[in-house]
A and B are shown apart, each in its own frame.
Chain A
Amino acid sequence: QVQLQQLGPGLVKPSQTLSLTCAISGDSVSSDSVGWHWIRQSPSRGLEWLGRTYYRSKWNNDYAVSVKSRISINPDTSKNQFSLQLNSVTPEDTAVYYCARNTNGAYGYWGQGTLVTVSS
């Protein structure tokens, strides 16, 4: 059974960096048949795909155009987890952030969600 456990702060100051980690159990971050994604949800923006990391002979990343200049998603094979970093946050980045496992283009497993508030 795959489980995703999210860790990270729920409050970030404007202009600082949002950092979240997603610990994986029941699968490997290095699996060559899945992708590891970050998605966020807010009342104003709904569900918004942020990006992914995945391994296919080498590590690859894809990011949403809306955050491409500010985002980094990285695997940590030693801890079997992956992380999200979003720089220069503003109040518009306030949302519930989810990590999720993608196979065949669909999200069968999700983390529990982390409400991140951007406020001073």
Chain B
Amino acid sequence: QSALTQPPSVSGSPGQSVTISCTGTSSDIGNSNRVSWYHQPPGTAPKLMIYEVSNRPSGVPDRFSGSKSGNTASLTISGLQAEDEADYYCCSYTDSITYVFGTGTKVTVL
């Protein structure tokens, strides 16, 4: 199972919006609503930001939103803040009854 493809980095100024793409195949993202997103500051465990494509767990700001089209999922951060600077990872359930993660994207707040 190959990792899902994410851009290595995205950046934006405070208050701007950034979108991170996560591209898979018809055997994972394209055939599953079990797509999730994680935020990982350095030296810490990942934290769940979005589950089931577009749902936010309690406590996650509504600045974070998720969507999916075909084999590509996306995470949008609106109103970028300094505390959003971290690595972000997507994850999908697959037809092989396994899970696969994305390659990771570093978000930089300029």
Interface residues of A (CB under 8 A from B): 37, 39, 46-49, 62-65, 98, 104-108, 110-113
- Expressed in whole angstroms, the Cα–Cα distance for A62 and B36 within the complex equals 19
Q: Which residue of A lies closest to B1 (CB)?
A: A65
Inter-chain contacts of A98 with B (CB < 8 A) = 45-46
Tell me if B69 is interfacial: C-beta within 8 Å of chain A: no
Asked if A47 and B34 make an inter-chain contact with CB atoms under 8 angstroms apart, the answer reads no
20 contacts between A and B (CB under 8 A): A46-B101, A46-B102, A46-B103, A48-B101, A49-B100, A49-B101, A62-B98, A65-B1, A98-B45, A104-B34, A104-B52, A105-B33, A105-B52, A105-B93, A106-B51, A107-B36, A110-B45, A110-B46, A110-B47, A111-B45
Tell me if B64 is interfacial: C-beta within 8 Å of chain A: no
Q: Which residue of B lies closest to A109 (CB)?
A: B48
Distance in angstroms from B51 CB to nearest chain A CB is 4
Question: Using an 8 Å CB-CB cutoff, how does the interface string of B68-110 with A read, 1 for contact, 0 for none?
Answer: 0000000000000000000001010100111111111000000
Asked if B34 and A49 make an inter-chain contact with CB atoms under 8 angstroms apart, the answer reads no
Distance in angstroms from B43 CB to nearest chain A CB is 9
Residue of B48, B96, B101 near A47 (CB, 8 A) is: B101
Q: Which residue of B lies closest to A111 (CB)?
A: B45
Asked if A64 and B36 make an inter-chain contact with CB atoms under 8 angstroms apart, the answer reads no
Distance in angstroms from A37 CB to nearest chain B CB is 8
Asked if B57 and A108 make an inter-chain contact with CB atoms under 8 angstroms apart, the answer reads yes
Asked if B89 and A47 make an inter-chain contact with CB atoms under 8 angstroms apart, the answer reads yes
Q: Which of A37, A62, A104, A107: most chain B Cβ within 10 A?
A: A107
Distance in angstroms from B42 CB to nearest chain A CB is 12
Q: Which residue of A lies closest to B33 (CB)?
A: A105
- Expressed in whole angstroms, the Cα–Cα distance for A43 and B37 within the complex equals 19
